Amino acid sequence: MTNNMNSTISQLKNHVQDQVTLAGWLYNSRAGGKVLFLIIRDGTGLCQCIVEKGKVPDDLFDQLRHLGQESSLTVTGAVRADERSVGGYELAVTGAEIISPAADYPITPKAHGVDFLLKHRHLHFRSQRQWCIGKVRHTVIDAIRRFFNDSAFILIDTPIFTTIVGEDQTSLFEVDYFGTPLHLTQTGQLYLESAAMSFGKVYCFGPTFRAEKSKTRRHLTEFWMVEPEVAFIDLPGLLELAENFVSFIVARVLQDNKSELETLGVNIEALEKIQPPFYRLTYTQAVDILTGPRAKDFLAKQLKEFQNQKQEIEAKIADLETQQSGQMKQWKKDKIAADLIDLRSTLAETETKIENNPKHAQLAAEFTWGKDLGGSDETIISLMHDKPVFVTHYPKQAKAFYMKTDRANENVVENFDLLAPEGFGEIIGGSVREDDHDRLLDRIKQQGLNPETYDWYLDLRKYGSVPHGGFGLGVERTVAWITAEKHIRQCIPFPRMADKVYI
Ligand code: 4AD
Ligand code: MG
């Protein structure tokens, strides 16, 4: 035997033909007559380990053959490159040590319901999809910090217990703070504005809380938001900052997580297009698109595509069902059963899309100027574009009190939402801030907020007020978009939703 050394799966490329030991968990296994194919995961990747009868002691071969999914073990063997193998390398096993055998692991390769997986989140982490998404989330967060730190922004940690309404009175979580009611933060922005008057360019990054009852795939009650705030900036300057920022994040994920994106089945070419400049529409232009022929034609075309997809899926299902009734090996049977579960769930999704299409078309056609864009409206606009879209200048009545009234058109504010492509909807909300003391005070009163609690915030408009603004990017929505994950709940380690908090 040559020198034996410990390795991780991600480092196997440096050890071809060496004898190495991997430590990990049994992800999956398949047994032929005289050979076992063990897929091991170790946190850095997956590796197929091949155990041939006769190359290891018989009793070990027998133990490995019956070893349960997620048992922990070490395996030793020679590394060989093999393109066909998951990860590109295999181990020809000459020894193994079982550390802790597991039996009846609850999450099997077959499909499970959402509630089941959420209740087993502590184990679901180990599945391939969750592992890939977790790695992308890590890169996104690292890129966020890198972008601002390298652009001379100062990190300011804003409080979680807050005394003021930051965004919206209807979605506050109240906490009893030694007898005084306080709220969990909805945004760090207002505090951050005071810091911008000290440091110029600042950002905060932390968890935020919204008691939104919405049970949509885009809403969490606890989510992470990064918010930059800049003194002496205007709306065009903010848009430029936002498009550079988002492009930087996507480029980093493409650089660091190509293989995870491939495993997740992400359209990498579409991500490669994410470069400045992004599209720019005013709210009024967006409304014109929604209520005009462009959206109508787009939705009609989309309906046809969904109907074709439905037919294709139904044909595939029928084909697999016929195959299933024939004679075949057990592993082939299992594979067909797993494929059928996937196809049936895609069919159900496609049917929902077909059902929703006319409803969304109606909502869009009947959209009236003045309302905030709804989820389906955002989806339509974003699906009609291949890069993110800025929607600017929303009606004043649809937006938060702190946004600056456009002096050229007093009905709208100098704000923007950034809509991610492919139907993922809003990932950023931002604005120039009202910097005139009296106008701001009026807006606070108009929205029924208590001006006394905003004394300190109004002070910022008394002592050297300057044009300033910023935005907030939701981490989970960004990760959902980049990983093409439909449900935002899969993009945070332990999701909290209006109707579900399990572990
Ligand atoms: O548009 P929002 O509400 O903006 C603010 O909070 C501003 N104070 C930010 C600022 O200007 N400094 O939220 C910003 C982003 C949204 O675009 C979205 O990505 C995310 O936060 N977000 C949510 N993510 C998950 N679940 C929810 N319930 C979310 N609400 C907002
Ligand atoms: Mg918003």
Residue 61 pLDDT: 96
Residue 222 Cβ < 6 Å to ligand 1 = no
Q: Is the CB of 339 under 6 A from ligand 1?
A: no
Cβ–ligand 1 distance for 434 under 6 Å, the answer: no
- CA-nearest residue for atom 2, ligand 1, is 429
Look at residue 33 in the predicted model and tell me its pLDDT: 83
pLDDT in tens, 303-315: 999 999 999 999 9
Q: Tokens standing for 194? A: 């005071």
pLDDT in tens, 61-94: 999 999 999 999 999 999 999 888 888 999 999 9
Helices (H) then strands (E): counts for the chain: 15, 17
Atom of ligand 1 nearest to the CA of 228: 12
Instruction: Please state, in angstroms and rounded to a whole number, the distance separating the CA atoms of residues 415 and 396.
Output: 10
- Ligand 1 neighbourhood includes 210 CB (under 6 angstroms): yes
The pLDDT of residue 217 = 86
Chain centroid offset of residue 357 CA: 24
252-298 tens-digit pLDDT: 999 999 999 999 999 999 999 999 999 999 999 999 999 999 999 99
Summarised one tens digit per residue, pLDDT across range 358-369 is: 999 999 999 999
Residue 451 has pLDDT above 60, yes or no: yes
User: Is the CB of 193 within 6 Å of ligand 1?
Assistant: no
Report pLDDT digits (tens) over 420-447.
998 888 999 999 999 999 999 999 999 9
Instruction: Say if ligand 1 is within 6 A of residue 201 CB.
Output: no
Residue nearest (by alpha carbon) to ligand 1 atom 29 = 219
Q: Which residues pair with 384 in a beta bridge?
A: none
Band (494; pLDDT cuts 50, 70, 90): very high
CA angle 128, 349, 291 (to 5 degrees): 120
Task: Encode pLDDT of 456-478 as tens digits.
Answer: 999 999 999 999 999 999 999 99
Q: What is the pLDDT of residues 223-252, one digit of tens each?
A: 999 999 999 999 999 999 999 999 999 999
Residue 470 CB less than 6 A away from ligand 1 = yes
Q: How far is the CA of 417 from the centre of ligand 1 (A)?
A: 10
Could you tell me the distance, in angstroms and rounded to a whole number, from the CA of residue 410 to the centre of ligand 1?
24
| Residue of 477, 488, 490, 496 to mutate, ligand 1, most atoms within 8 A of C-beta | 477
Q: Residue 245's pLDDT is what?
A: 98
Residues 409, 403 contacting (CB under 8 angstroms): no
Distance CA 385, CA 390 (A): 11
Percentage of the chain beyond pLDDT 70 is: 99
Q: Which pLDDT score, from 0 to 100, does residue 181 have?
A: 94
For residues 414 and 404, the answer to whether their CB atoms sit within 8 Å is yes
Ligand 1 centre from 77 Cα, in Å? 50
Q: Is the CB of 227 under 6 A from ligand 1?
A: yes
- Alpha carbon of 472 to ligand 1 centroid (Å): 6
What is the per-residue pLDDT for 70? 97
- Read off the pLDDT of residues 393-422 as tens digits, 9 standing for 90 and up: 999 999 999 999 999 999 999 999 999 998
Whole-model pTM: value is 0.94
- Per-residue pLDDT tens over the stretch 321-341: 998 888 887 778 878 887 888
Catalogue all structural domains in the chain, each as residue range(s) with its CATH number. 5-100 (2.40.50.140)
3 pLDDT band, cuts 50/70/90, is: low
Average pLDDT, the chain: 94
pLDDT confidence of residue 165: 87
Question: Does the beta carbon of 7 sit less than 6 angstroms from any atom of ligand 1?
Answer: no
**Of all protein residues, whose CA lies closest to atom 1 belonging to ligand 1?**
429
Distances (CA, A) of 336 to 132, 176, 320, 346, 387: 25, 54, 7, 15, 37
Average pLDDT over residues 155-174: 92
Distance 473 CA to ligand 1 centre (A): 6
Confidence check: pLDDT of 1 > 50: no
Distance from the first to the final alpha carbon of the chain: 47
Q: Whose CA is nearest to atom 28 of ligand 1?
A: 219
